[in-house]
Structures are given as structure tokens and as C-alpha cells.
Copies of this chain bind each other. A is one copy, B any other.
Amino acid sequence: MQIRILGDIMAEEEIKKISLAVIRRLPKYHKCLGELLRNNVEKVSSQELGQMLGFTASQVRQDLNNFGEFGQQGYGYNVEQLYNEVAKILGLHTEHKMVIIGAGNLGQALANYKDFESHGFKIIAMFDINPRLTGLRIHGVPVYDLEELSYVINENNVDIAIIAVPKENAQQVADVLSGTIIKGIWNFAPIEIKVPPHIMVENVHLIDSLFTLSYKINENKLMERLIKQKSKRFEVKEKIIKKLP
């Protein structure tokens, strides 16, 4: 009986969701391990791996232990094994078929990105409403009319759709995608699209990223001004306090 209860507790504990912070570090591990592997490095300690990535050894061990026990006391981690485990965690063990909606500059640029295919993400089609584009092949990828989106996705077991249309049309496209077998949307339109909960969304909001850079550039000046302002306010308060008793 005691054991049943313990089991239930464990199951509950296990279901605790992995935090996005951890997830976003996984690609870094994957890349670093890939480089070590290519350099024929056989083993790596949490200490070393952390050093290369700017993480603490503790964090590396905590991160990895969310997914299993991949290391060996007194030895460290086998690079090849860990690389494969991380790849599996990231879902890179299966091929992914992708389509791009929007064959404009961004869509074309993405269609030409060699890195995707080399990691098992294959772009099989693009879609556009512009009749001057449909029928063409861009970087080897056929461009279809948007009308055919659902059909092509469902026929070809496409699991990822890339939204590269203007923000005005993004939700419309998302709605069509919601009726297909798609599992994830990589959204480059600067809006928050609404989709059913079984479809995962990852946003690339470039303008947000640029604004963040702008903030960083501006930060020093901003803080100087802020301190001046606050100390002025502080002086005023001082005066008020002095006038009391």
C-alpha cells in the first residue's frame, strides 16, 4: 500500500512540465555536442560542457536529468550517446516535412536555407496567392496556389507549416492550417495567431528582436537619465521630511 502511494507521488512529480528556459538551452547542447563529436571527442563532463556554453556544471546536470540519466559517475558523458539522446529529445530522430505559406522575400529566403534540410527538416512546397509565382519552382521548391494548401499538407504528411505572409493574412492562414494534420506552426508574422491547443506554435517576431537590440544600445543613456530623475525626486522628498517636526 505504502508503495502504491509512493508510485502515485512519483508519477505526479514526473508530469511536471519542463520549463521553456530548459527547452531553449537544448539546441545549444545539441550544437556543442555535435561539434565535439565532429572533433572526435569521446567524453565530456558537465564541467567542460558548461564551460563551453557559459552554463554552470550544476545547470548542465540539472537540465539533462530532466530527461534521463545519461552520464556515468567518475566518467562523465559519452559525447556520441548524449548527442543522440539530445537529438531524440528535440524530435530530430524523425524527418519533418514542412511547407512555407507566402513565397515573398522571406519565404524564398527560408526555402533556400540549407541548414534546415541537413537537420531533417524538408521543405516540400510553398504557397502563394500571386499567380505570377504559382507554378514556378523557387530554389527547387514548387509554388502552389493557396487553394491547394490543405490538400497538399494532408496528402504528404506535412507536420510543420511556416507562416511567411503579411500580418493581415496570417490568422486566415492559421485558420486553414487548423483544419489540417499539421502539428506545429513556425510563425514569422508579427501577430499572435490563435490555433487549437494540439497545434504547437513557435513565433519569430523579428521586430521585437530588433527593438530589444535598440533597447540594449539605449540602456546606458536611459539609466543615467533615470538615476538623475530619481535622485531629484528623492531630494524633493528630503525637503518635505525636513519640514516635518
Contact = CB atoms under 8 A, between A and B. Distances in A.
Contacts of A26: 211-212, 215
Interface stretch (A56-64, A84-92, A126-134, A169-177): A84-92
Nearest to A200: B216
Given A218-B90, A227-B15, A234-B10, A205 B113 contact: no
A92 B11 contact: no
Interface in A1-47: 3, 6-7, 10-11, 14-15, 18, 23-24, 26-28, 30-31
Contact of A213 (B184, B213, B218): B184
Contact of A23 (B14, B200, B212): B212
B27 A211 contact: yes
Given A14-B230, A183-B217, 15 more contacts: A7-B234, A18-B219, A23-B212, A27-B205, A92-B211, A109-B109, A116-B207, A116-B210, A160-B213, A185-B213, A186-B213, A201-B213, A202-B212, A202-B216, A204-B206
Nearest to A166: B114
A208 to B, nearest CB: 4
Interface of A: 3, 6-7, 10-11, 14-15, 18, 23-24, 26-28, 30-31, 67-68, 89-92, 96, 104-106, 108-109, 112-113, 115-116, 119, 121, 139, 159-160, 183-186, 190, 200-202, 204-219, 222-223, 226-227, 229-231, 234, 238
B28 A208 contact: yes
B204 A217 contact: no
Nearest to A121: B210
A184 B217 contact: yes
A59 to B, nearest CB: 17
Contacts of A90: 211, 214-215, 218
Nearest to A96: B214
Contacts of A139: 105
A208 B11 contact: no
A128 to B, nearest CB: 15
Nearest to A183: B217
Contact of A11 (B96, B108, B217, B231): B231
